[in-house]
Each structure stands twice: as C-alpha cells, then as structure tokens.
Amino acid sequence: MLVYKRTYTWTTGGLLVLPAILVFTLFFVIPLLHVLLTSLHNYSQTSGVGDRWTTQNYAKFLRDPYYLGVLWRTIRISLVTTVVTLILGYPLAMVLAATKGRTRSWLILFLLAPLLVSMVIRAYGWVILLGTQGPVANLFHVLGLRTPTMLYTEFAIDLGMVHVFLAYMVLPILGSLENVDAAIVRAAANLGAGKWYTFRRVLLPLTLPGVSAGAVMVFSLTASSFVTPSILGGPRVPVMSELAYDQVVSVMNWPYGSAIGCILIVVTMLLLLIYAGVLRGRRGRTEGTVTSW
C-alpha cells in the first residue's frame, strides 16, 4: 500500500510538471541548442550559415581587442547597475517593510510604475532629460557650469538600467525583510549592539537570499538588455547584445552573431556561479554569528 501511494505521488507530480518542462524545452532549450550549433558553422554569403563545422567564430572574437572590449563594457555596465540598484534598493526595501497601509501601497506603485511603461518610451524619456537641450543641460547652463556630455555614454546607459531594474532588486529584498523575525533585531539591540552593527551582523546575513536573488536578476537582465543600451548608448557605446544584433540582422552573419550570444551566456553564467560560491561561503561564515545572538 505504501509503495503504491509513493508511485502515485511521483506519477502525479511528474504529470503536473510535464507541461512546464515541455514549454521550457520547446521555447528555451531547443532554440539555445540551435544557436550553439549555428555558431559552430562557417559563414556563407548565399545562405548565411555554411555546411562546414568550425570554431573560427569563437577564435575571431577572442583574438579581437575590440570585441573583448565590448564584452568587458557589458560586464562593467552590469556590475555597476547591480551595485547601484543594491545601494539604492536596500534602504528603499527597509522603508517599504516598515511602512504600512495606504502609504506602502503608493510607494510600491511608484516603484513598479516604470515597469508599466514600454522600454522604448522610458529610454526616450531619458534622451529628452539628458539631451543637449534637455532640463539637465539647462540647469547646468543656469548655474553657469559647463554642460557635460551625458547622452550616448556609459553613464546614460547605467542611469537607464538602474531606472528600469531597481524594482527587481527591491522586491526580493523586501520579501526577505518581511520574513525576518523582529524579535531577533530587538534582541541584538538589548544586548548592546548598535544599529550599524545589528544591520551588518544580523539583518544583512538574514536577508542575503533576497540580495542574491535580486543581484542575479539585475545582472542577468542588464547583461542581455538591448533596447536601453541601443537608445541611450547608440553606436558610440556598443554592448554584446548590439553586436549580436548587427551581425545577424545587418551583416547576415548568423554564425558569428550566434557565437557572440553564446559567449555572452557563458560569461554571464560563470560570473553568476562565482558570485553564488562567494555568497555561499559568506553565508556559512555568518550563520554562526547570527545564531549566537
């Protein structure tokens, strides 16, 4: 009877998960494998993808300082966006966790408002703000200062990315903060710990899962973003997604564009795995400290 029940449970669970597995395989795994196989073919001027297997596309990318510079720029923008959203998002998440009632609802609405607007509209809004005739430039002019070049720079891309992905950092941290028992924080204060010490040794370790989830989402989405860098950076500040787009759409070199996409995926995954390992080690070192309280 016990064996039958266990078999029935596993069978039911498998049937429930099967649609999600099929959708994931059909719309993610198979296209990704197709991109990988395409990247291992030569370029054909007639059909786009040749019939000869080669790794020349990857060698071409790794030997060219220009493409390596674009890869480093993409990683740098992703790191800056992740760090800035964390610095801005953690205090905002703490405010949201401490706020109740209608005020909290309005704050969450303001936080999610950028997600309700098209990326193109948001990006062109920043173009207006940062343009040579925009409000920011006029403010510098009124103050008698030289107007710096803000549009079509990494700074503009970072600004647009932070605006777009701030909510992806705040919401996971907010969820972790709401799961923290307030009695633990009060106990730390009763034992003589100051606010900063309590935050660093008690609150932050307990909310590391939310920080980790937010950082992974922001970094991944920033690294693969296309619309915002294209509009705010333009051709002066290309990123990996733009290189892949140009190779596939403009040059029609599908194998090389696929190789660029695969390199971006591999580098992003490696960095996230390194981050997960460092975070796991830090979490293990701080668990004993939190438990001692």
More confident: 84 or 116: 84
pLDDT in tens, 129-188: 998 888 888 888 888 888 888 889 999 999 999 999 999 999 999 999 988 887 887 787
pLDDT in tens, 254-284: 999 999 999 999 999 999 888 888 877 766 6
Measure the CA–CA gap between 70 and 285, rounded to whole angstroms: 36
Assign residue 48 a region: left if phi > 0, alpha if psi is -120 to 50, beta otherwise?
left
Longest CA pairwise span in the chain (Å): 85
Measure the CA–CA gap between 208 and 279, rounded to whole angstroms: 8
Measure the CA–CA gap between 115 and 119, rounded to whole angstroms: 8
Measure the CA–CA gap between 268 and 262, rounded to whole angstroms: 10
pLDDT in tens, 77-109: 999 999 999 999 999 999 999 888 888 889 888
Calculate the alpha carbon distances from 148 to 154, 211, 275 in Å: 13, 34, 35
Q: What is the pTM of this model?
A: 0.86
All structural domains of the chain, each given as residue ranges with its CATH number in brackets, are: 61-292 (1.10.3720.10)
Of all residues in the chain, what percent carry a pLDDT higher than 70? Answer: 92
Crossing angle (nearest 10°) for helices 154-178 and 208-223: 150
